[in-house]
Amino acid sequence: MATETDDIFDYIVVGAGTAGCVLTERLSAAGHSVCTLEAGPRDTNPLIHIPAGYIKNIYSKKLTWNFRSEPGPGVNGRSFPLPQGRVLGGSSSINGLNYVRGQSTDYDNWAAAGNPGWSYNDVLPYFRRSEKRLGKADPKYRGTDGELPISDLDWHNPVSDALIDAAGAIGIPRNPDHNGATQEGAGFFQRTIYRGKRVSSAKAFLSKARRRPNVSIRTHAQCTSIILENGVACGIRYIQGGSGGKIRTVRARREVILTAGAINTPKLLQLSGLGPAHVLKAAGIEVVRDIQGVGANLRDHYAVRMVSRIHGAPTINTKVQGPALAIQVARWLVGLPSPLAISPSLVHIFCRSDPSVDRPDLEFACAPASFREGVVGLLDKHPGLTLGVWQERPESLGHVRVKSGDVFQAPSIQPNYLTDERDQKTLLGGMRIARSLFRAAPLARYVEAETAPPPDVESDDELLAFAREKGTTVYHMIGTARMGPRDRPDSVVDHELRFHGIGNLRVCDASIMPSMPSANTNATTLMIAEKAADMILARTALQ
């Protein structure tokens, strides 16, 4: 293939996902020239912008990386699709839209692990910077002037209300703001939805940046390697237009910034010779730096869906199938509340798997809907309720490893779900709490039958067997370019997200998270990008 040399910019941003869009906006607004490379297309597909389009987009061959996990030892040898956004906006263009920050202790623990500047008090201003809270907002915790609207649920259902009452009946308090002073409790998720439409990172941030003459956004640009000269990152090689396209290069005066996500960031680093020597040698790649942490420390949320058949009230199952769907489409078109404009999960419950636990370790993501054979998007014909539950801070560790030097070959991805006994114990606690919710008086009057798992699955061994056989990923992969001190063997970047041992190279996405926040990961990734922008621009930390 022919090689073509492109321009030089102050910064190159690799990946126009959640973090990449924020960084492109912040760096270009400060007057710097920025080239942002995205392997996928522009975000013109209308299903991206309709919240209900999630159930189609998550399986899209055009909008996602069609990754798949290796068979897992803790899940009966099963493997799972691991879609990641491959479009402007990245996973913020295809995700479940819920905005969850996590717990203050999550970030205090990051700082205590040798990462100064990442305590909760340090990062809270960066959460506040990007958000435009549209509901009730305590200014101590919430922002109202940012680009990303965070709205409250406007479509309600009696079964959802009964579920929150059931939580109260078993001792879990109502919490009107899970992103405020405390996370614990039950309520309705806040979402990145505005006037019935998804607001991705591309919509909120890149739409501003792209109008500037100092910004070049290049789609269908598959990055093949980082250009390294004398231990310094100087640019990126990429192919534009698929495997038969031209090899191009773009160079950076200041920095190369990787924002390609927890799978593609370690993949690109390894393709560039930066990673565990044994992995690189097995793939036939020359070792530039033997860095064991690249691709290690992979974590993901693993969920079990507990399902009941409902009677006495309509649910989403009956609202969006057959002639009823036309009514909901019409409501959405005129701006009225509709299940087409909601996130896939409406009710949150953050609670403790056991009273002895010092803080919540379970997240429930619940919807008044049920799916045939557990397949999201394939609704049952009868009314149903699904309680999805997962261990908030999984300890099971996996990895991402390239198989060859071919950029178009997917890497080996092994999350090792449920291999840590702590995850097993916590998930069992969550499954038993789900049973208690179904049977609590406020909800029990709607529950016709518990269908998954059936009531006779009762012992710990039986429930864990169900979890291994029927559980699934929540698509929250993090940690594969871990932030930590240089003397820690599994760390990849320092507390300013600079790559250990290579100049002018930073990683600014979910892969730098040292441990899983007690949350869906999009809000934390936005925060990382906001903080990274200040560090790159050498601005004084926000107060």
Residue pointed to by tokens 């999201």: 376
Of the candidates 118, 91, 107, the residue with the CA atom closest to the CA atom of residue 183: 107
Q: Is 278 a catalytic residue?
A: no
Are the C-beta atoms of 349 and 331 separated by less than 8 Å?
A: no
User: What's the CA gap between 301 and 475, in Å, rounded?
Assistant: 7
User: What's the CA gap between 129 and 443, in Å, rounded?
Assistant: 39
Are the C-beta atoms of 79 and 70 separated by less than 8 Å?
A: yes
Structure token digits, residue 499: 């790559």
Q: Which of 178, 301, 476, 500 is catalytic?
A: 476
Structure token digits, residue 140: 């101590």
User: What's the CA gap between 393 and 514, in Å, rounded?
Assistant: 11
Of the candidates 353, 350, 348, the residue with the CA atom closest to the CA atom of residue 367: 348
Q: Which residues pair with 79 in a beta bridge?
A: none
Are the C-beta atoms of 224 and 271 separated by less than 8 Å?
A: yes
Would you state the torsion angle of the CA atoms of residues 236, 237, 243, 246, taken in this order, to the nearest 10 degrees? 120
Start-to-end CA distance of the chain, whole Å, equals: 51
430: helix, strand or coil: helix
Which residues carry out catalysis? 476
